[in-house]
Each structure stands twice: as C-alpha cells, then as structure tokens.
Amino acid sequence: MSGAADFTEEKAQDNSSLLRFTGIWTILHLNGLDEKLLAHDGPVSQIDLSQVDHIDTVGAWLVYRTARNHGAAISGASQEAAKLIERVSSGDSDAATKPPTLSPPLRILNELGEAVTVALTTMAMFLGFIGQVVVAFLSVAIHPSRLRWNAIAQHFEMVGVRALGIVGLMSFLIGIVIAQQGAVQLKQFGAEVFTINLIGRLTFRELGVLMTAIMIAGRSGSAFAAQIGTMKITEEIDAMRTIGVTPIEALVVPRTLATVMMMPLLAFYSCFIAVIGGGLLCWVVLEIPPVTFVQRLREVTPMTDFYVGMIKAPVFGAIIAMTGCFQGLQVGNNAEQVGLKTTAAVVQAIFLVIVLDAFFAVFFSSIGWD
C-alpha cells in the first residue's frame, strides 16, 4: 500500500489497541498526523509497521514517541525503519533517566559538598598557577631582555597613578570615621586624647594597607581578569603560544610586578591621607591643634607599625595580581564567562587578602611586634 501516512486502530480483548501504521511515513506525507497521534488516548499495546512502505527520520521519531508515550511494542519494522527508530531513541533527552529528587536537607548537603569540591579544586589549580608564575619570574631574571618594560610602565599608571584619587578619598573618609567613632567612645572616660593613638596605630598597622588592598582588588584585579579573559575569547593567547610567546611572561609577570611595586606606595599614601582626615576631625571636634596631633602621633605610633604595613603591602599586591590573572586565564569560550570570572577574581582576592592579614597579625604578635 502506498500513499499518505495513516494508521488504523484495532481493539484487543484486554481493551488495549493495536495501531497499524500504513503508507509513506516521510515529512512530505504526514499531513497533520502528529496532532492525531498526540490526541490519541487509551492504552496501546502494539504498533505494527509491516504496511509502511517508506520511512524517514521524522516518521521514525513519530513512531518512537508514540511507542514511548504508550509503552507499546513495535513490530513489523523493516531493517531501515528499525535502524532509524534506534537512532532517534538514542538521542531522546526526555527518555534519559532523571536524577532522583533530593529532600531539602540532602540538597543543601549536596550543594555544600559541590561547593567544597570546587573550592579545593580551584585552590589546587591556583597553587599550580603560582608555581608557574615563580618559574616565569626566574626565567625573566635569567634573561632580563625578555622583561616587557613598556607593559610594566603602563600598569604602573593603571594600578598606581589612576588609583590615587579613589584611594585618597576612601582613606580620608576612613580617617574621619575612625577619629569620630573613637572620640565618641573615649569621651565617656574623659580620654579623648587617646583618639590619636587609635588613629595612628590602626591606620599604619591595619586599615591603611588592608583597605587599599581591597580597593585595588576591586579596581585592578577585576581589570586584569577582564582583560585576559577577553584575550582568551578572541584567541589572542592561543596566537601568543603559536608564535612562541609564553602568556605567563607576557601577561602575568608585568601585571604582578607592577602591582607588587605600587602597593607599598599606595599603602603609604593611604595611611598619610587617613592621618590627615583623622587629624582634621580632631582639630575641629576635639580642638586638638595640628602641631599637638603630630607630636602625639610620633610619640604613640611605633615604627614597627609602619614596618608591618609596608611588609604586608607587596604580598597583598602579588596575591591580587595573580588572582586576577588566574581567573582571566580560566575564562571559557563564551562572553558570560568573562563576567563570572571577573567577579570570582574580586571575591577570591579579597578573601585571600583578609586570610593573609589574619596570618600576619598572629605572626607579628608572636615575634613581639604588637
């Protein structure tokens, strides 16, 4: 029998149906048969294809879907039809086994386990990346001609010069906040003069370098991740490897070196501006003259506080630069990854800076620099 695709229904004794498909089951001969098969209700036990003259992929899909929806067996299929039905069944995503639905507590534990796995994997990859950067620095030290001074100078401007405005404003306001809060609390005990102690020690030892590192992580670390991630998408990094240029030496080393060198300068600048902000508030609110403020600041702030801040600054700079470059190199082949890895670079850099700051606090306290 030849002609348009069709089917007939024969009832069995158990009230189930046998569907007998006839005609040519190709896309040109279906004529709305898809809707008729979907509208068919009732149990179907068997589908007979013995009277099907020809079948293509679309027809095989309709046969398979009908058999799947009704749990029916397929019989009478030719060798060609059987192969097509097997192919379309293997690509059926709806027929794939769905993962079991977890209860809320198990789902929380599952997500927590996945997050821990991702965190440990990322940390292992980051440690390996730090090793690659160290090797690249040693290679550049052996062959100084491979160091890109122009790139370093450009990053000096981006990381340092262009950050002076926002870092200075932030530090000035932080100095005012420290002085105001300290004055309010110490005023209860008639010890407003110790506000100067609070400003000096807290600024030079902790907040000056820490807030600067957080600001640079959000500003420069994210820029590093976005720049390198965009280069990864546009295949510029692959082109570098093709012409024999090592991406670590060309992209990571200049950025890391520039950030390490600029962080102590920015941290000192931040501390200086914060002290000016705190001194201004002490002058206006507490009526402490600037001369007295500076003299008292020199008496109560030991040089070890300044050393602590300047030791931490380059370490924070290295972590920020390497984190941004690492996340940039992890970008995949779509633009969405650039935003995700840029966000991850900022979060990871700030987290590592705070962890290192806690480590330094314990370390310097243990050696008597407290």
Q: What is the pTM of this model?
A: 0.72
The radius of gyration computed from the CA coordinates of the chain, to the nearest angstrom, equals: 35
Phi-psi region of 44 (alpha: psi -120 to 50; beta: other; left: phi over 0): beta
Query: CA geometry: angle at 180 spanning 177 and 185, to 5°?
Result: 125
Strands (DSSP E) found in the chain: 6-11, 17-25, 44-55, 73-75
SS3 annotation, 30-91: CCCHHHHHHHCCCCEEEEEEEEEEEECHHHHHHHHHHHHHHCCEEECCCHHHHHHHHHHHHC
Asked if residues 127 and 102 have their Cβ atoms less than 8 Å apart, the reply is no
Please give the pLDDT value at position 61.
Answer: 85
Q: Smallest Cα–Cα separation from 197: which of 211, 185, 212, 188?
A: 185
Distances (CA, A) of 305 to 203, 291, 312, 316, 329: 9, 21, 11, 17, 37
What is the separation of C-alpha 104 from the centre of its chain, rounded to a whole number of angstroms?
Answer: 26
Q: Smallest Cα–Cα separation from 308: which of 183, 223, 208, 216?
A: 208
Whole-number Å distance between alpha carbons of 149 and 369: 37
Whole-number Å distance between alpha carbons of 266 and 279: 20
Domains of the chain: 6-90 (3.30.750.24), 131-366 (no CATH)
Whole-number Å distance between alpha carbons of 27 and 61: 11
Whole-number Å distance between alpha carbons of 346 and 209: 17
Per-residue pLDDT in tens (0 to 9) along the chain, 370 residues: 457 788 888 877 667 778 888 888 888 878 777 788 887 777 888 888 888 888 888 888 888 888 888 888 888 888 888 888 888 887 665 545 556 677 888 889 989 999 999 989 999 999 999 999 999 999 999 999 889 999 999 999 999 999 999 999 999 999 999 999 999 998 888 888 899 999 999 999 999 999 999 999 999 999 999 999 999 999 899 999 999 889 999 999 999 999 999 999 999 999 999 999 999 999 999 889 999 999 999 999 999 999 999 999 999 999 999 999 999 999 987 888 999 999 999 999 999 999 999 999 999 999 988 7
Whole-number Å distance between alpha carbons of 9 and 20: 6
Whole-number Å distance between alpha carbons of 361 and 369: 9
Please give the pLDDT value at position 2.
Answer: 58
Handedness of CA 163, 165, 168, 172 (dihedral sign): negative
> 44: which strand partners?
17
Q: Smallest Cα–Cα separation from 158: which of 299, 262, 58, 69?
A: 262
Whole-number Å distance between alpha carbons of 197 and 154: 39
